[in-house]
Structure 1
């Protein structure tokens, strides 16, 4: 059955989010007065499985790194962060920065990560948004039926690839060297808007070159996880909370508040 969707302008998808941004979008968000966090998670550098497009997609956008004697891949995400309504949400539930909204917003509720199906039960949209009489969300080949959404998805995928080198430089400039274990949680790094904007400007303007060397550490609140990481030859420490770095667990609440939208179309 064709999945159909029509936005009801309820504003539910514009509340309590960590909204993934490209480097360019992060600069724009900060310049408009918004808050941006840097989120990191990592895993051993295993070859992407050729028959798993989601694994390949993730690895293509990861940073190559080392932790102790273990080669790892690090995923670094810049996220617009807000509790309650988005700072650009108007009282009418319309977007006050519609022309400049991030690709994530343009794509929702479609998916960006290859192989991930659209599940209305995981979306913030009310049941009436999925009225079977509404316009189709996807075309028969699984791509967004709306040309603007399809264009935004292509742009987001292209940005993800183009931003890899800049993200590596950004981590070096900000002194970020810790990451959570993939699928256990996220390391959340906070910097002042001015420091983050300055680092973004430098990272985006630097010419391409060899990646900066960073000795990465895994952080985890689990002694079992830290022991497993240590046995693999990597460095693991407890996830101590501080003013600039904290650990976000992938429990039900964390999953609710981290809208990756890395779901493909």
Structure 2
């Protein structure tokens, strides 16, 4: 009898806990309604874009923007992520047009992915450097051209920056990157670095960098760097398809304690 009573009490406790859990989850979902201000900001962003496959057709002022494809909110309804990449093999045609500064209204935005779209002959907007909460920015494979804006160096929380394989992005200096002390992943593949004699010094000083992709950057010299090439946490280094035609530099061997992937293919490096 005592066993049956104890079992009944246990089941009652479990049932109550489950009910409370679902009630809390429901309450959280109910709170996940974006503000009118953020919805309007996203609609302004949409209106600046050409969307040939109607990927954003459900973005409407009559619905909650937290339910829109590509938009993710936190449990208080603040827009945290915009993921509008077009993956390889996707049925979507690329977005193009103008990226609206209305995105600055999204004060909690920490992820912006516009990769594999078609912003051909468009410069990277400098206002992106004012998205203070941004931790992840991917503009790769989207046709951007012109100078990479120095304002991106204001993104002190940025951990992931991918500008790889755009249309002839130019870099007049790298000093802005030195301010990205939280950066863990950097891809500048396809950008022209051959005039940046200090690229190794600047990038090796980033304290958190673990992955660096500089494929096809017209690099013709690997040092030696002024001082020590730190790369304290570097695990992946891609310097493939460059113009390296000298001895393999000895500082690369000093990375053996952290490096797990090194790509030097399609160069003319010499030595053992």
With the length of structure 1 as denominator, give the TM-score of the two structures.
0.22
- TM-score normalised over the length of structure 2: 0.22
* Higher fraction of strand: 1
Greater Rg by CA: 2
